[in-house]
Amino acid sequence: MDRSKSGRRLPNEQKLIELAKTNPARFAPLYNHYYKPIFIFVFKKVRNEFTCDDIVSKVFLKAILNIKKYEDRGFPFSSWLYRIASNEVNLFYRKSKKVTEVEIMETDVITLMKEIKEGDEVDRQQVVIKCLGDLPIEVSNLIELRFFDRMSFKEMGEVLGITHGNAKIRLYRALDKLKKLVEEQGI
């Protein structure tokens, strides 16, 4: 995720949000700024451009329809959009009963492996990726947000609707579960 675009507030972002609250046509600068990072976030989870387009359109439709309910709680506006996107992806998988797939970059896996103290050997990378896929979706989502989407604990908390402290605790529990699964593989 490009933190320079998606994790930072737009200049005058609060003013743009207030304008969008009074006139939905004024939502365009927010849409233009956040469309690509939200698209990438969703695409990594669904791996199908048509499905991704559909989900992203629902994300921004819900954002426009609910912009009046948005409250600035000290997080970037993008956190609110990521929460909507995450909910829409989860809804898609619940309705379609499909399995979640996520594109994982090698550098992200190496970072994750260092976190769970697994080294970075190529054969171990495949074990970690397999074990990540075996985790419950709620658990793997925590790891994805932190290591693949590079969100801070504060951003994770906002996306998940929990405190940043709770996000940190849940992530470390998720990492413990992943580490145990990897150890059980015994390779």
14-35 residue pLDDT tens: 999 999 999 999 999 999 999 9
CA–CA distance, 124 with 127 (Å, rounded to integer):
5
In a domain, 18, yes or no: yes
Instruction: Report the Cα 46 to chain-centroid distance in Å.
Output: 12
16 and 89 housed in the same domain: yes
Is-contact 88 58, C-beta < 8 A?
yes
Average pLDDT, the chain: 80
Where does a domain end: 51, 68, 96?
A: 96
51 and 124 housed in the same domain: no
Instruction: Report the Cα 29 to chain-centroid distance in Å.
Output: 22
CA–CA distance, 83 with 164 (Å, rounded to integer):
14
122 and 47 housed in the same domain: no
The CATH number of the domain holding residue 177 is 1.10.10
Question: Which residues are CB-contacts of 97 (< 8 A; sequence separation ≥ 6)?
Answer: none
Domain of 67, in residue numbers: 3-96
Which residues of the chain fall short of a pLDDT of 70?
Answer: 1-9, 97-125, 186-187
Give the residue from 11, 98, 79 showing the smallest Cα distance to 41. 79
pLDDT tens column, 161-187: 788 899 999 988 988 888 888 888 765
83 and 114 housed in the same domain: no
* Number of domains forming the structure of the chain: 2
30 and 88 housed in the same domain: yes
Question: Which residues are CB-contacts of 94 (< 8 A; sequence separation ≥ 6)?
Answer: none
| Angle between helical axes of 122-134 and 106-115 (0-180°, round to 10) | 80
In a domain, 101, yes or no: no
In a domain, 118, yes or no: yes
pTM for this prediction: 0.64
Where does a domain end: 53, 74, 96?
A: 96
Quote the pLDDT of residue 117.
Answer: 58
In a domain, 112, yes or no: yes
79 and 153 housed in the same domain: no
